[in-house]
Amino acid sequence: MVKFKLDNRFMFFMSLVVGNWKMNFGIGESVRLVQEIVDKLNSKNEVAVCPPFVSLSAVADVVKGSIELGAQNIYQEESGAFTGEVSASMVKEVGCKYVIIGHSERRKYFDEDEFLNMKLQLAMKHSLVPIFCVGEGLEERSVGKQNDIVEGQLIKGLEGLKFTHEELVIAYEPVWAIGTGKTASANEAEEMHAFIRKVLKDNGFDSKVKLLYGGSVKPGNSIELMSQKNIDGSLVGGAALNAKDFLSIIN
C-alpha cells in the first residue's frame, strides 16, 4: 500500500510489512512459504520475513534481495562461550537486514528486559536494523498505565543510543493483542504511535523512525490500521504463516 501522508509536507510513503514466523517451520516449509510469497508479491511496500535461525540461510537463497530477511533475536555479547546462542555478526553474515529485539514473548519467557539495550547496541554496531518491540499488558491498559509502560520501555531500551530514522524500527505490540485475535482499535493504536513519536522527540531521538503495529493483524483489519497517520507498517505473527493472508496484508 502506498500511503499519502501529511507530515511537514506531502509525501508518498511506503509501508513496511514484517512476518515473524516465531518457532514455526524448518528449512523445507520455510523455503516453500517464502517462495510462494516471492512469486506472488505485487507491491511496492517493503517486506521482510523473520524465520527461525536454522532456516535463515535457505530463505536467504530464495529471496535474493526481492524481500528482506530478519532474525527473531540475537545474543547480547559479541561471541564466546554462550552455548546455544546466536550473535549479531552471524545473522548479519547470513543476510539479515533486520532483527527483532525485545519481543514480548522474549521479555516474558526469557526475562530479557535487562539485556535489550545491549542487544540494540550490538545490532546497530553490526549495521542490523533492530525492530524494537514495546507494548503494555492487559492489566496495565485496564488501569490506564499503557503510556507509562511504553515510555519506560523506550527510555530504558534506547538509553545512550544514537541512530537515524533509517537505523531503527519500533513495533508497538500490545501484549493483550498478540496471538489472541483481539486487535487494538485503529484509534488506540494511532494514539499510542503518536505518543511514541512524542517520547522519541522529547528525549532527543529521531522521531521519524518507522513505527509498526503488531498484534493480531489480519487481512480484515490491516487497511484501517495501516492508514493511520503514525502507523508505518505492521509486524505480523499468525497471519504471516500463510502466504495468502500475508500477501493480502502486503498488497
Active-site positions read 103, 173
CA 234/CA 214 separation, integer angstroms: 6
Residues binding ligand PGA: number (CB under 6 A): 13
Q: Shortest approach of ligand PGA to residue 236 CB, angstroms?
A: 5
Q: Shortest approach of ligand PGA to residue 175 CB, angstroms?
A: 9
Among 96, 120, 236, 250, binds ligand PGA (CB under 6 A): 236
CA 226/CA 127 separation, integer angstroms: 27
- The smaller minimum CB distance to ligand PGA, of residues 77 and 183, is found at 183
Following CA atoms 36, 42, 47, 49 in sequence, which dihedral angle do they give, to the nearest 10 degrees?
Answer: -10
- The smaller minimum CB distance to ligand PGA, of residues 89 and 248, is found at 248
Amino acid at 12: F
Binding mask 169-208 for ligand PGA (x = CB under 6 A): ----x----xx-----------------------------
238 binds ligand PGA (CB under 6 A): yes
Neighbours of 7 (CB within 10 A): 10
Q: Which stretch binds ligand PGA (CB under 6 A): 53-61, 114-122, 138-146, 236-244?
A: 236-244
Helices (H), the chain: 27-40, 56-63, 88-93, 104-110, 116-125, 138-142, 146-158, 186-202, 219-226, 243-250
Among 15, 16, 17, 20, binds ligand PGA (CB under 6 A): 20
Q: Shortest approach of ligand PGA to residue 224 CB, angstroms?
A: 15
Q: Which stretch binds ligand PGA (CB under 6 A): 62-70, 74-82, 212-220, 223-231?
A: 212-220
237 binds ligand PGA (CB under 6 A): yes
Q: Judging by DSSP bridges, how do beta strands 46-50 and 68-71 pair with one another? A: parallel
Q: What share of the chain is helix, strand, coil (3-state, %, to 5)?
A: 45, 20, 40
CA 69/CA 58 separation, integer angstroms: 11
Enumerate binding residues for ligand PGA (CB under 6 A): 20, 173, 178-179, 214-217, 235-239
